[in-house]
Chains A and B, each alone.
Chain A
């Protein structure tokens, strides 16, 4: 069964620090998709990125970057120069192409950025 582990329950940093959120996944499928979502205090999840299993290129979007490594089954998310507005719960998720009725979310990492 597919599984997503976010070992960091809570992280607290001071503004302008860099922070990396870890995500480790398990799957038997060769085709799968990985996601990161942000859940601010308002509650609704905001999509950040999707990566398919055939694309291991790292991605950078402004202060956000993602490091996908199939060899270690990890899809880590780094925020550079963190800001108070980055405070939220971040979820990593996995969807397998062959299992069309499930999307597995990690338990989430609560990031607090202090001014």
Chain B
């Protein structure tokens, strides 16, 4: 089945540690995105990538880093510089770049900092 997978579903990390969230898609989509969702709030864009080896900062990129070495993969690293990393993280993809396209979402990773 085509879709987006995110792993792990739940992630716990100690304060001060970096952690990497995985996102893989087999939809042959060019663009991929990372969002953060906090309770009772909408999604906020962290980073997005329109093509391989290129990515752009979104609204709240500070404390996060990404790479896009393969079309299928767009991992997100939450660094120790991120002051409040506990949140639900959603990865998405779309056929072409530009945030005006329909996006397909993964099931999300819930990160908790202990």
Contact = CB atoms under 8 A, between A and B. Distances in A.
B44 to A, nearest CB: 7
B-side binding surface: helix, strand, loop or mixed? loop
B16 interface: no
Interface residues of A, number: 27
A103 B99 contact: yes
Contacts of B42: 4, 6, 91, 93, 104-108
A99 B48 CA distance: 13
B107 A101 contact: no
Nearest to A99: B99
Given A4-B42, A102-B58, A108-B42, A95 B104 contact: no
Contacts of A106: 42
A13 interface: no
Which of A33, A35, A43 has the largest count of B CB atoms less than 10 A from its CB? Answer: A43
Contacts of B92: 45
A45 B103 CA distance: 9
A44 B105 contact: yes
B24 to A, nearest CB: 14
Contacts of B1: none
Nearest to B88: A43
29 contacts: A6-B42, A43-B90, A43-B107, A43-B108, A44-B107, A44-B108, A45-B90, A45-B92, A45-B103, A45-B105, A47-B102, A47-B103, A50-B100, A50-B102, A91-B42, A91-B43, A93-B43, A97-B100, A100-B98, A101-B58, A102-B99, A105-B42, A105-B44, A106-B42, A107-B40, A107-B41, A107-B42, A108-B40, A108-B42
